[in-house]
Structure 1
């Protein structure tokens, strides 16, 4: 099947069955496409819809995002994970805002901005600007790897080069934006990772993986390795007014820039930390341990709920550690497991008070 035949069959299918009412497909402009593409990285469409709607409602333009405090941006991102995406979004918004709010019009210039890679740049330029630019997100990698029976893990540099060449060759000069949307749709709805719907795929007759019985094997998986396990103790420390102590994490690293509870390698380190600050614990309770998995390790954490006996100052350590009331927590950017932990505790605590 030639690229032209592939495009024709794909357009016929997309015009009849493609998704055209997702929030970022309405009122299309570079800003909205950019935000959606960043959110959709390693996150499913169904999870992104609500976040996108809330995000653009609060930050409708690149200028409004650029002028916002990072804390508020992170708060609107809380729960989506991979928080470097939000920090880069904020940085790039400030750069674009300084350019009168105009996004660069070349892949090279867009790719030079924080958090924007070649595929994201291509998606912005094709969907929002009508340029003929290839993309290679996860869905498109899967479609092309199967259609051309490309073996190997797409994350491998040699395999990626091959897929980029195919993507370039198949991207049309006309209706490039629709083609980009159609390819992402095809991968998301028919050519899925498991249980692909080959019988109704518009390009099934040319798919080499189907012809060779390799649909389940392609694309190749990332070489597996056992993830290490890191163990921590989380301290939920409450003062006499039932405020909780939260610390802002460093800008770099896991959960960068978010607010979290103090964490320790072991109970002794936790006790030493309290002694150094002259905290006298009135009562404490060890809560059930939980696990949060990252892409490169598992985090097992044991929460310790503790209440102070002595009064404390409201702000400490240059503002990095702050005592927050329950109602204030909802306005902060919190890591997902910490947010769930606090919601669980405060909900139960409030229910106990109401009984």
Structure 2
């Protein structure tokens, strides 16, 4: 093998040697036999330890996967048992008489009234006193003026630019919901560069907004923001300047309306978010469940009492800033807090070491996320158009309702339970056939170049833990796109084909970004395209690059062989050398157990084809 490589890659290789061997058939046959014998012996000796190690790794990985599957199956069985028990309890409760239900409703109403009275008069103890209110306002505003963070949406605007200020507050508050400030800053700047005013946003499409929003999550926020902007632009009264009128705009709730009205239009209305609830709960040492309807209502009353009438916007921001920077969930900085002297939770913790400030508010136990499974097919199409080179990836648009509504993704199927490879592949086949109207006889429309599993990963939504299996399907068209796709298969489904360059610039969800080809560092895909006849391409894909054939591979990859051999001795010698190098490459891959799929290397056509010496 070493001798063959030196001969093949040596620039001073004497063509006369090859020519003499070509003239003597016996010499060629003897040479081929020696090469094959030496190659087989070398391969069997060099790859045996590696195969043993690879086999052990596969067995270990399979054992780990089996243990993981067993644990997940046990968890699912427990979850199903709990659901069945809950369902049985529900059915039993529905069998109660109407009289008992009426009595229970009356009792619940009485208990709710008593709870509200207790919350108002007992836990909160008549809200804040006037003295406490003044001290809290002064302490927070003085602290905020010195310590507020420099955020892009806090730029001051003149009186004539109140509408623009309101738009900036609106966008920032929607983005900040369930998202960290550092993440939002990057998105906010890009957003404002593209749509600096609400009228610019009103002209945008949902697809443009989704692309800009990709990665922030909770995509319904983006859709509501766009719909609200269009609603305001279409109106005749301009941007609403009061909280009551702002709440009539699509996607604006009580919190967002309060933030816009107080910050942009100086209206003395409160805001209540997670940070504000934490601060208020500690100021009053409120132990009630913050998710409870009555408790939430009382927090709004507390916040309304504290709002500074002269600087409502700054005060609301100071309250939120305190919760975000000092009065944090697990590590509050009470020594630096400007209102610690008015904080009842801090006072109680000083008196009794068993009490901690972090005991307030009461921690709510989150529901366990449900588990589901998804198989994703990265569909790559070659020769999508006659004048195009390279592959194109198929993306489909999700329905306009539901999770990730209106976003683009690779073809995917949700599974009810974990399935084996064959079941997942069958589900993908059914989906592709229905969604894109693939021919029953797929080979009439295209040739499957390769199909392989790329791996799996876990993506966690708010209430869903999704395990995603990914496969790569590469097809070669034998005709135009009409032979493969018969228009839109479903009214609710649209699709498009994009190149790998465009794919990397699209605004896709974080879950889709985990899907190859975005992250294929662990897989080395090689493509070998050899033109044998007009419009005939033989394609080879493999996983691992082989050192001893890399130079010859790159040399062949950079040339197209079109003209038949016409007696040019130099080009024939080069082709003969490349032939032996490809043979070595093929044998090495087989020894490593690499699957080529339908490797259609037609050796006879390859040997009898050439270019002129100048072209080479």
| Distance (whole Å) between structure 2 residues aligned to residue 343 and residue 27 of structure 1 | 44
Aligned residue number for residue 169 of structure 1: 305
| Distance (whole Å) between structure 2 residues aligned to residue 91 and residue 97 of structure 1 | 10
Paired residues for 1:94-109 under 5 Å: 94-99=230-235, 102-109=238-245
Paired residues for 1:40-55 under 5 Å: 40-55=176-191
Paired residues for 1:225-240 under 5 Å: 225-240=367-382
Residue 128 in structure 1 maps to residue 264 in structure 2: yes
Q: Deviations over 1:91-147 (max 9, x none)?
A: 001011112582212222212222211011100011111111100011111111111
Aligned residue number for residue 429 of structure 2: 271
Structure 1 residues 175 and 274, CA gap change in structure 2 (3 angstroms)? closer
| Distance (whole Å) between structure 2 residues aligned to residue 174 and residue 289 of structure 1 | 56
Aligned residue number for residue 508 of structure 2: 334
Paired residues for 1:66-215 under 5 Å: 66-99=202-235, 102-213=238-349, 214-215=356-357
Contact 1:259 1:332 in 2 (8 A): no
SS of 1:283 mapped into structure 2:
strand
Paired residues for 1:51-66 under 5 Å: 51-66=187-202
SS of 2:358 mapped into structure 1:
coil
Shift of 1:308: 1.2
Shift of 1:350: 9.4
- Structure 1 window deviating more from structure 2 (101-110 vs 160-169): it is 101-110
Aligned residue number for residue 13 of structure 1: 143
Aligned residue number for residue 30 of structure 1: 166
Shift of 1:299: 1.2
Structure 2 stretches of 5 or more lacking a match?
A: 1-130, 158-164, 350-355, 383-389, 416-423, 528-549, 555-616
Aligned residue number for residue 262 of structure 1: 411
Contact 2:166 2:264 in 1 (8 A): yes
Aligned residue number for residue 313 of structure 1: 481
| Distance (whole Å) between structure 2 residues aligned to residue 350 and residue 54 of structure 1 | 34
Contact 1:258 1:333 in 2 (8 A): no
- Structure 1 window deviating more from structure 2 (144-153 vs 308-317): it is 308-317
Aligned residue number for residue 220 of structure 1: 362
| Distance (whole Å) between structure 2 residues aligned to residue 352 and residue 26 of structure 1 | 52
Structure 1 residues 114 and 212, CA gap change in structure 2 (3 angstroms)? same
SS of 1:289 mapped into structure 2:
strand
| Distance (whole Å) between structure 2 residues aligned to residue 79 and residue 11 of structure 1 | 34
SS of 2:515 mapped into structure 1:
helix
Structure 1 residues 102 and 207, CA gap change in structure 2 (3 angstroms)? same
Structure 1 residues 16 and 244, CA gap change in structure 2 (3 angstroms)? same
Shift of 1:268: 2.1
SS of 1:155 mapped into structure 2:
coil
SS of 1:304 mapped into structure 2:
strand
Residue 293 in structure 1 maps to residue 460 in structure 2: yes
How many residue pairs get aligned? The number is 354
Structure 1 residues 340 and 26, CA gap change in structure 2 (3 angstroms)? farther
Structure 1 stretches of 5 or more lacking a match?
A: none
| Distance (whole Å) between structure 1 residues aligned to residue 499 and residue 181 of structure 2 | 34
- Structure 1 window deviating more from structure 2 (258-267 vs 35-44): it is 258-267
Shift of 1:348: 7.8
Contact 2:368 2:463 in 1 (8 A): no
Structure 1 residues 7 and 349, CA gap change in structure 2 (3 angstroms)? same
Contact 1:77 1:83 in 2 (8 A): yes
SS of 1:196 mapped into structure 2:
coil
Shift of 1:347: 7.7
SS of 1:6 mapped into structure 2:
helix
Give the TM-score of the pair, scaled to structure 1.
0.93
Structure number with the bigger relative contact order (C-alpha 8 A, sep ≥ 6) is 1
Shift of 1:70: 1.3
Shift of 1:15: 1.5
- Structure 1 window deviating more from structure 2 (67-76 vs 34-43): it is 67-76
- Structure 1 window deviating more from structure 2 (293-302 vs 332-341): it is 332-341
| Distance (whole Å) between structure 1 residues aligned to residue 504 and residue 229 of structure 2 | 24
Shift of 1:275: 4.7
- Structure 1 window deviating more from structure 2 (326-335 vs 248-257): it is 326-335
Larger radius of gyration: 2
| Distance (whole Å) between structure 2 residues aligned to residue 260 and residue 165 of structure 1 | 44
SS of 2:518 mapped into structure 1:
helix
